[in-house]
A and B are shown apart, each in its own frame.
Chain A
Amino acid sequence: MNYHWNWGIFFQTSPDGVHTYLETLLLGTGWTLATALSAWCLALGMGSLVGVIRTTPHLWLVRLGNAYVEVFRNIPLLVQMFLWYFVLPELLPVWAGDWLKQLPDASFYTAVVSLGFYTSARVAEQVRAGILSLARGQGWAALALGLTRTQAYIYVLLPMAYRIILPPLTSEFLNIIKNSAVALTIGLMELTARARAMQEFSFQVFEAFTAATVIYIIINIIVTFGMRWVERRSAVPGFIGAAPAAAATH
């Protein structure tokens, strides 16, 4: 094989003159996590809202929620990112578009918004499935006590629904971390982008990508164990949770 291995490359200075390659990778990891966590907040918020309105008896709200989910699920994430990054500034009034284009870290904000909305559609599916998997009687019992519909969702339905969908929600969180890599196409210097840059400048292809792979695996393991701890802490004694029928797997 003609490839020359050089694992010491990590401690050499990268082209920016300040950081070693290893440090650039870690910086990239920081951006990956920042993007993923910020987008996750948006995804959870919007996704819960849309998931809930799809379970209300108001038909027009349900249709609105369904349309929302269909739009964000049927367009590839990369295309959605391009729409937010390249197309949106052109469709806004000139002053707004220019402001967006001049924004420092524009790729970060775009990535967060794009990733957030994309994932929110999938979260909406989970939340809806979780609520629907609860016995109808729970909603009735809450209403029979005089709680309003909103109170019923907040105090009775959602607490149980979230516990039930913790496993698929964990998957979505892991997905968001992986999907953050797509933002390298709009210039976000997250982990995969840094590994690619390292490969381009140092020609140590496999060292760079191995390091990135290892870091993703470590993040994966930490998140998986973390969520298992959350599951244990939030488990309701004596309750056997029924997992709702599989929403998207990937």
Chain B
Amino acid sequence: MFADFDFEVIVRSLPYLFYDGMTFTLMLTALATCGGIFFGTLLAMMRLSGFAPLSLPAASYVNLMRSVPLVLVIFWFYFLVPFIGQWVTGASQPIQVGAFVSSLVTFTLFEAAYFAEIMRAGIQSIPRGQVGAAQALGMTYLQTMGYIVLPQAFRNMLPVLLTQTIVLFQDTSLVYVLSITDFLGAASKIAQRDGRLVEMYLFAALVYFVISFVASLLVRRLQRRVAIIR
């Protein structure tokens, strides 16, 4: 069954797959995670602020992003970001942004909605007494959040945040719809150029599996350590 297959093609393409493809994937994952957690935390704070002009737009944004497929959002931002760039910089034409920037904006803003829900749960899990104690000491809202609530919320939700990062890592494969060269895109290009779909896609699946599986095992180990400390 495997006689016709040429697994050498994988070895030959390793540099391209990993230097070009995987670096894109990992960079996108890392940056979108940081941006996503940052904006997600902001959104969570807006939702929990109890102040309608902040909480309603935040809630609407989160619900909107969670109702719509990521593929559609990728298309949206691919066309929207140049126009936003034009509006922001006051240029006469839509700004040409690279594939990376467009993807980064897309994934950061999309995942922010999911990180927002995680952080919201994290913030709400901090007992009211903590806030009361901080306020009794004279801390302002921002000091309370910054020194007392958010640090604890982060620590509690770290395993869930990391799991969502693994999901993000897998989601980046969808940039395929824009023919962008991430890891899957690179594998796909080789597959089509050399006619070696079976080998390349099996290899891609294997690599994604190994990375995701190992990462999830590490998260589980982290979870057990955290539980013991508590």
Contacts and interface: CB of A to CB of B under 8 A. Distances in A.
A2 B83 CA distance: 9
A150 interface: no
A192 B75 contact: yes
A6 to B, nearest CB: 15
B76 A78 contact: no
Interface secondary structure of B, over-half rule:
helix
Contacts of A10: none
Interface residues of B, number: 44
Nearest to A178: B69
A78 B176 contact: yes
A75 interface: yes
B163 interface: yes
A79 B114 contact: no
A184 to B, nearest CB: 7
B78 to A, nearest CB: 9
A237 B145 CA distance: 40
A246 B160 contact: yes
**For this complex, into which size category does the number of interface residues on chain A fall?**
35 or more
Contact of B212 (A74, A178, A205, A213): A74
Given A70-B213, A75-B205, A217 B79 contact: no
A148 interface: no
Contacts of B117: 249
Contact of A205 (B1, B79, B170, B202): B79
Given A75-B208, A212-B72, A87 B202 contact: yes
Contacts of A181: 69-72
Contacts of B209: 71, 74-75
A69 to B, nearest CB: 11
Contact of A82 (B177, B201, B213): B201
Nearest to A221: B67
B176 A185 contact: yes
Given A80-B205, A82-B201, A216-B69, A185 B177 contact: yes
B94 to A, nearest CB: 7
Contacts of A174: 67
A73 B64 CA distance: 25
A83 interface: yes
- Which of B71, B87, B176, B205 has the most CB atoms of chain A within a 10 A radius of its CB? B71
Contacts of B71: 181-182, 184, 192
B68 interface: yes
Given A178-B70, A182-B174, A217-B67, 19 more contacts: A1-B83, A1-B87, A74-B209, A78-B173, A78-B184, A79-B208, A83-B201, A86-B201, A87-B197, A87-B198, A181-B72, A182-B71, A199-B75, A199-B79, A209-B79, A216-B72, A246-B160, A248-B163, A249-B163
18 contacts: A2-B94, A76-B170, A76-B171, A76-B173, A78-B173, A82-B204, A86-B201, A87-B201, A178-B68, A181-B72, A195-B75, A196-B75, A199-B79, A209-B72, A209-B79, A213-B64, A216-B68, A216-B69
Interface of A: 1-3, 70-71, 73-80, 82-83, 86-87, 90-91, 174, 178-182, 184-185, 192, 195-196, 199, 205-206, 209, 212-213, 216-217, 220, 246, 248-250
